[in-house]
Structure 1
């Protein structure tokens, strides 16, 4: 009987761990130069204990640590210098299954692939987000100046 109970408990744990997933957008996320962006990442089931949770955001292409959270606090010493003061998560939202990353002052080099990794005492999973960079610009206007000996064409914006 003890063996059967052990099998049932183990099987129940496996089902719970198998249900753990990380969700990120499937489509690429476009971020705007100089603005902030929130890279969405959530995990399920949200009812799981967040004690001992580890959330790590890193570049999938370079393995740079963008942001790291464990032992119930942000681990900024692990962060790549390129993201110092620009990357954060929402610690108060972790208990709701939110592991999203806020990236401030977006730069062209921020485009690429990012991995959101979430680990609990029961299971771990990750998701990869593709980030595209964009910038606003003012439509240029063609100015034509006619002179006696020459015509000057110039774009202004």
Structure 2
């Protein structure tokens, strides 16, 4: 009986370790040329001190957007996303790290990872974009 309790406690510790980052339950579908919001959030208020949020393309590890040291680091973005990928800056302290992507292109289709780092903790979610009209004749 004692052994079962130890195993259960270990499992609970593993589950509660790290940030729980939320994203959408399925792929986002949007037409070419439109704007889309890629959801990414946590359920707690966070200090921007020590907070880092990265959005990356899964297929190429391309940096889509970086928030670090209290501001968006547009100089670190892949050039294709400059002036198209934005944060809702006023929402960051509320735990909302969603990315607004303008002028959707066929090459934007794919999977993106939002990774949130705060102090020693981190968590991530994956968001898939399907561009409506791509590959249709």
**TM-based fold match above 0.5:** yes
* Native 8 Å contact 2:50 2:118 kept in 1: yes
- Corresponding residue SS for 2:96: coil
For the pair shown, the structure with the greater C-alpha radius of gyration is 1
Q: What are the superposed Cα offsets for residues 59-108 of structure 1, whole Å, 9 maximum, x if unpaired?
A: 01110000001000111111001111100111110111100000000011
Q: 1:113 aligns with which of 111, 114, 117?
A: 111
Cα 1:32/1:53, change in 2 over 3 Å: same
Q: Greater relative contact order: 1 or 2 (C-alpha under 8 angstroms, separation 6 or more)?
A: 2
Paired residues in the alignment total: 121
**Cα separation, 1, equivalents of 2:18 and 2:65:** 25
Pairs within 5 Å for 1:9-28: 18=17, 20-28=19-27
* Structure 1 segments unaligned to the other structure (5+ residues): 1-13, 136-157
Q: 1:65 aligns with which of 54, 63, 66?
A: 63
Supply the RMSD in Å over aligned alpha carbons. Answer: 1.9
- Corresponding residue SS for 1:43: coil
**Residue 19 (structure 1) shift:** 5.6
Q: 2:50 aligns with which of 38, 52, 57?
A: 52
Q: TM-score, normalised by structure 1?
A: 0.71
Q: 2:75 aligns with which of 74, 77, 90?
A: 77
Q: Which has the higher strand share?
A: 1
**Residue 49 (structure 1) shift:** 2.7
Structure 1's consecutive aligned runs of 4 or more residues displaced over 4 angstroms after TM superposition are none
**Cα separation, 2, equivalents of 1:26 and 1:33:** 22
* Structure 2 segments unaligned to the other structure (5+ residues): 1-12
Q: TM-score, normalised by structure 2?
A: 0.81
